[in-house]
Amino acid sequence: MPLQHLYASELSALCTKVQPFPVASPEVTTINHALRSELGLEGLLPNEHAILQALFSPEGTLQENSVAQKYGGHQFGHWNPQLGDGRGLLLGEISTPQGELIDLHLKGAGPTPYSRHADGRAVLRSTIREYLASEALHSLNIPTSRALALINSNEPVMRESLERGAMLIRTCPSHIRFGHFEYFYHANEHEKLDELFSFCFAHHFTQEAKSENPYLALLTSICVSTAKMIAKWQAYGFNHGVMNTDNMSIHGITFDFGPYAFLDDFVPNYICNSSDHGGRYAFNQQPSIGLWNLNALAHAFSNKLNVDEIKQALATFEPQFLSAYKTEMFARFGFTEAVLTAPENTTDEDSLISLSNRFIQLLSEESADYHGSFRRLSESFNDIKKGNIDGFCDTFLQLNEMRDWSKQYTTLIESCQANITQQDLLGRNPKFVLRNHHMQDAIEKAENGDFSTFNDLLKVVTRPFDEHSDLHALSLAPEDSDKGIALSCSS
C-alpha cells in the first residue's frame, strides 16, 4: 500500500521536514497485528525487520517525507504559542481498504525545531501506557488513536530519573488538534489558517464541505464528536488528566495520553495528574473543560462565522453530551437502545435517570469501586431479576439504601417488559479495566526486559468483557495503598 504525504505536501508551510533519529539498539517489541490487518499494512510492514528498515534505513519508506507539525495550545487555561511536534513526526497517510484516510505517526522520534531544547524522546513507561490505553479504550468503543507498534531500546533517557527510551507508531484519522487552528489564528497568519481549513474540508470533513455553511457544519461536527467522546469517558470512568487544547483532536478521539487513569473508587473529583494542583482536569470537570476548549477553538472560526453561528454550534455540546451519557449509562443497566425502542417497553426516561443517578450517588457516598460495582451488578443480575437481592447488596456498606435501589431496579426491569438478559449487562460492564497498579507492575518488569505482564494486560483489555479465568488477578481492585495513583506529565 503506497504511503501518501498529503499534509507534508499541501501544508508544507505549516510543518517542517524532519527525519526520525534512531534510538540505540531499536527492537520492535509489539506489533498490533489486528490493527495492521484492518489497515491493510501487511505489505508495507510485514514484520519487525521491515518496520525498522522503513523507519531508519536511508531508503526507508516511512522516513523519507516525515514532518513535524506546528501548533499552539491552551495549557491549563493559559495560551502557549511555543508548541508543536517536539518528539513526534507525521510519517504520512494511508488509505485503508475501507477508504478511510489514516495517519501514521512516530512518537519519540528525536529532536525537532519544536522540541524547545528537549531530547525529543519518549520513554518506555509512557509508551507502554499509551499502547495499553488506546487498545483498552478501543475495546470499550471509546473513540481513540491506536498503537500500531512499540519499539524498545537500550537508549538512556533522563526524566525524573534515568529511563529507557522507546518509540510508538500510532494511528488516527489525523493529528490535527484544536491547537493547530488556534496557533494560526492568534498568530494572525490567516492565509495559513485558510489553507488548514481547506485541507480539512478536502480530506477529513468532505460532507461538511458540501453544506450550505461549511464552517458552521465543521465547528458543529467537532462539538458533537467531542461531546460524545467525553460522555463515554464519564460513563466508563476514564480521567484523561491533561485536556490542554493541544491534546484535543478535531475528530473527537482520545488523544495524547499523559497521566490518565481509570477510576478505582468512585471519587467524582479524582485528579489523576499530580501536576494539576487546582483540579482543572479532575474527572468531574471533563465535560465543562471540553466545552471550554471548544470555545477556545471557536475563536479561530470568528472570521468565518458570526457570533450567533458560533453560539449555535457550541450550543450543541450540552444536549449531545447528555444524550450520549444517558444512552451509555442506561445500557450499563441493561436498558439498551434495542430494549428501550421495543414496542412492549413502558419504562419512562425519568425513572431510568433516577435509577442511574441514585446508583452513582451510592457509589460516591461510600467510595465504592466503580468498575467492580458494575461488574458485580452484571454477575448478580439473574438473582436481582428474581428479587434475590441480598447477595449483591451485602457487598455494600449502605446495605439498606442499596436494597431500596435494587428493588427500584427490579421494578423497572419488570415494567420494561422487554427481555433484558444477563449477557446484555456482562457485555457492557467490563471485568477488566486498565488499573494503574497493574500497569506499574507491567512497566517495572518491562524495564528489566520482561514483557509478560504487559502482554497479559494487553490480552485482557483487548477483550475486557471475557472471563480470562487464568488472568483473574488482573481484574482485582488495588489495595488501599495503591488506590488513586496520580502521575506526572513527564514522559
Ramachandran bin of 330, using left for φ above 0, alpha for ψ from -120 to 50, beta for the remaining angles: alpha
First-to-last alpha carbon distance for the chain, in angstroms, is: 32
List % helix, strand, coil for the chain (3-state, nearest 5): 45, 15, 35
Distance of CA 356 to the CA centre of its chain: 24
Rounded Cα–Cα distance for residues 147 and 170 (Å): 4
Q: What angle do CA 59, 63, 66 make, to 5 degrees?
A: 145
Q: Is 246 a catalytic residue?
A: yes
Q: Scan for cell 414496542, then name that residue.
A: 343
Rounded Cα–Cα distance for residues 51 and 31 (Å): 10
Ramachandran bin of 141, using left for φ above 0, alpha for ψ from -120 to 50, beta for the remaining angles: left
Helices (H), strands (E): how many in the chain?
Answer: 20, 11
Rg of the Cα trace of the chain?
23
The sign of the dihedral angle between the CA atoms of 296, 302, 307, 308 is negative
Q: Scan for cell 428501550, then name that residue.
A: 340
Given the residues 85, 103, 246, 369, select the one marked as catalytic.
246
Amino acid in the structure at residue 271: I
- Name the residue among 93, 87, 89, 83 with its Cα closest to residue 68: 89
Helix (H, G, I), strand (E, B) or coil at 183: helix
Positions marked catalytic: 246
